[in-house]
């Protein structure tokens, strides 16, 4: 049996000795898995079943349901840096939250899986908050794109005109607007638009070469939080803590 690669998103005690896990895997997408005896196990799952852990897992069908049975697990990356810094952990928490609330059940999304893996690694290894914020915003921007909800950044959503450099806005309707159509929407620079656009199409291995400035982050973070909440119809509490 070929193992899956999976990120632990959430854990819940189940009955007397079992644990129910929400995971995001490379071959099956978001799943629920049952780890039997995990609350008492001193060998099979010790130190493995923790939020954000990247595991190699063996999964089996369970009682003709959509739940998977977790039979074996092996650590791939525990991302220790996430647990050493509160801001890193908050940023990672938003990635887990989006994977949990913004992906369909049992739908493989390998690009999103790889995006999550490299983003968690970058945040875990970050040395300052600006780098964490960049990794997070680039993740959210690309996550939306891969899910089919990416911001439209070519022309004004409402009139089809390409905004002037000092006239561009970001609209919660899903992308670019001009000041003539939406004067009260968020004003943004052409540089910010270019970075968002590049983040939607660049190879994932090149994503870390993109960076927003601190003023751009201060503008973009509340907008992306509101847009993600609106898009997925969930209150992403981890986003609120980061703004």
Domain of 175, CATH number, reads 1.20.1440.120
For residue 42, pLDDT beyond 80: no
Q: CATH number for the domain including 38?
A: 2.40.50.140
pTM to 2 decimals?
Answer: 0.95
For residue 237, pLDDT beyond 80: no
pLDDT (0 to 100) of residue 1: 66
pLDDT (0 to 100) of residue 40: 79
Pair 73, 84 in one domain: no
Q: How confident is the model at residue 16 (pLDDT cuts 50, 70, 90)?
A: confident
Query: What's the Rg (C-alpha) of the chain?
Result: 20
DSSP collapsed to 3 states, the chain: CCCEEEEEEEEEEECCCEEEEEEEECCCEEEEEEECCCCCCCCCCCCCCCCCCEEEEEEEECCCCCCEEEEEEEEEECCHHHHHCHHHHHHHHHHHHHHHHCCCECCCCHHHHHHHHHHHHHHHHCCCHHHHHHHHHHHHHHHHHHCCCCCECCCCCCCCCCCCCCCEEEECCCEEEECCCCCCCEECCHHHHHHHHHHHHCCHHHHHHCCCCHHHHHHHHHHHHHHHHHHHCCCCHHHHHHC
Instruction: Note the pLDDT tens digit of each residue in 120-130.
Output: 999 999 999 99
- Where is the domain boundary, 19, 48, 77? 77
Please report, to the nearest 10 degrees, the dihedral formed by the alpha carbons of residues 189, 192, 197, 199 taken in order. 180
pLDDT (0 to 100) of residue 43: 72
Pair 233, 143 in one domain: yes
Counting the structural domains of the chain, the total is: 2
* Domain of 40, in residue numbers: 4-77
- Where is the domain boundary, 30, 52, 77? 77
Pair 67, 92 in one domain: no
pLDDT (0 to 100) of residue 4: 96
pLDDT (0 to 100) of residue 46: 82
Pair 177, 92 in one domain: yes
- Where is the domain boundary, 77, 108, 127? 77
Pair 94, 66 in one domain: no
Pair 213, 98 in one domain: yes
């Amino acid at each position: 049996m070929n193992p899956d690669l999976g990120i632990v998103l959430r854990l819940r005690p189940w009955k007397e000795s079992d644990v129910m896990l929400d995971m995001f895997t490379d071959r099956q997408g978001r799943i629920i898995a049952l780890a039997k005896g995990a609350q008492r196990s001193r060998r099979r799952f010790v130190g493995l079943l923790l939020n954000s852990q990247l595991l190699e897992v063996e999964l089996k069908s369970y009682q003709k349901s959509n739940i998977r049975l977790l039979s074996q697990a092996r650590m791939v990356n525990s991302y220790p840096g996430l647990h050493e810094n509160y801001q890193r952990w908050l940023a990672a928490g938003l990635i887990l939250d989006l994977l949990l609330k913004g992906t369909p059940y049992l739908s493989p999304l390998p690009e999103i899986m790889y995006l999550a893996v490299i983003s968690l690694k970058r945040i875990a290894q970050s040395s300052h908050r600006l780098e964490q914020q960049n990794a997070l915003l680039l993740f959210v921007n690309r996550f939306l794109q891969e899910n089919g909800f990416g911001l439209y950044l070519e022309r004004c959503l409402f009139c089809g005109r390409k905004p002037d450099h000092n006239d561009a806005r970001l609209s919660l309707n899903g992308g670019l607007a001009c000041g003539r159509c939406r004067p009260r929407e968020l004003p943004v620079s052409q540089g910010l638009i270019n970075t968002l656009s590049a983040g939607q199409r660049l190879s994932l291995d090149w994503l870390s070469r993109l960076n927003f400035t601190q003023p751009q982050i201060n503008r973009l973070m509340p907008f992306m939080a509101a847009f993600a909440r609106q898009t997925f119809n969930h209150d992403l509490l981890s986003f609120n803590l980061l703004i």
